[in-house]
Amino acid sequence: MPPKNEQDQIVQYIKAQEEKINRFIEKKLRFIELLKEQRQGVINEAITKGGLNWKTYRLKTIVGSSTNGVWGDEPKDNDEDIYCIRVADIDSLTYGISENKLTIRNIETSDQEGRLLNTGDLIIEKSGGGDVSPVGRVVIYNLPYKAVTSNFMARLNISMEINNEFLYYIFSYLYSGRRNVPSIKATTGIQNLDLYSYLQNKVLVPPLEEQKQIVSHIKTETATIDTAIAKAEREIELIREYKEAMIAEAVMGKMKL
């Protein structure tokens, strides 16, 4: 244990460094927020530009039905153990599925039937959400694993010919404009999406070939933005690691103040 005056020095040093680090993180988080707004702007502009050959559809015409997920039981180390995609697995940047902490559940084969996901399937969040991120996010299942969705999510079953990534961008546009909010019902503190109501929204859809071109355009325009976001997130991760190491070294007397 160092003398009292040295303890005070250590505390003051740590506080000063923490303030600098916290200001750095705040600036980076704001930068990321602005980049995400820019990214969404690219999507919204491309999805809503319209044209002579664009047609208006209600979403219910495009999405014929949905298949609710299932939660199952704890893993039993048998053939019925399977990945179960949760709301927590949504990647907040790409709106795909993050594979960092996938959950394995035991789901009977009969419950898996009709629920297994294919790469490219669209999944909608039906329960959960909050004031900042209200329920109703749509993601693309981008993983190669055998999986189903949890009971808080559902697979959207597409009933007309449409590019799945273009449809995802339509939902991204709607969500950014909070068009999901009127269809939200809250019970016991949990937001639930009335999917039937939400699918009454009207959207513009171009011919299939133009859909593909728009998807390609969006990917090209957002690639640099995504790289900048990933870089900023990594910088935050590194500075937080430095903060922990700095505190440990200062407390253990390994740092000259």
Pairwise CA distance, residues 128 & 151, whole Å? 11
Final residue belonging to a domain, choices 180, 203, 226: 203
Residues 10-66: tens digit of each pLDDT = 889 899 999 999 999 999 999 999 999 999 999 999 999 999 999 999 999 999 999
Mean pLDDT of 205-217: 98
**Global confidence as pTM:** 0.90
Q: Quick one: 122 and 35 in the same domain?
A: no
Q: Quick one: 74 and 181 in the same domain?
A: yes
Q: Quick one: 89 and 185 in the same domain?
A: yes
Residues 233-248: tens digit of each pLDDT = 999 999 999 999 988 8
Does the pLDDT value for residue 181 go beyond 70? yes
Torsion of CA 25, 27, 30, 36, to 10 degrees: -80
Phi, psi of 81 (to 5 degrees): -70, 130
Final residue belonging to a domain, choices 167, 182, 203: 203
Q: Quick one: 75 and 181 in the same domain?
A: yes
Q: Quick one: 231 and 155 in the same domain?
A: no
Final residue belonging to a domain, choices 175, 203, 231: 203
Q: Quick one: 196 and 215 in the same domain?
A: no
User: How many domains does the chain fold into?
Assistant: 2
Which residue's structure tokens are 């009709």?
114
Q: Quick one: 128 and 190 in the same domain?
A: yes
Q: Quick one: 114 and 165 in the same domain?
A: yes
Q: Quick one: 99 and 136 in the same domain?
A: yes
Which residue's structure tokens are 């728009």?
214
Contacts of 145 (CB under 8 A, 6+ apart): 83, 99, 102
Supply the range of the domain harboring residue 44. Answer: 1-54+206-257
Q: Quick one: 195 and 215 in the same domain?
A: no
> What's the CATH code of the domain at 137?
3.90.220.20
Q: Quick one: 125 and 36 in the same domain?
A: no
> What's the CATH code of the domain at 5?
1.10.287.1120
Q: Quick one: 148 and 199 in the same domain?
A: yes
Q: Does residue 173 come out as left (phi exceeding 0), alpha (psi in the -120 to 50 range) or beta?
A: alpha
Asked whether 249 and 66 are in contact (CB, 8 A), the reply is no
Residues 8-26: tens digit of each pLDDT = 888 898 999 999 999 999 9
Does the pLDDT value for residue 254 go beyond 70? no
Distances (CA, A) of 150 to 13, 58, 102, 138, 206: 47, 27, 12, 14, 33
Mean pLDDT of the chain, nearest integer: 94
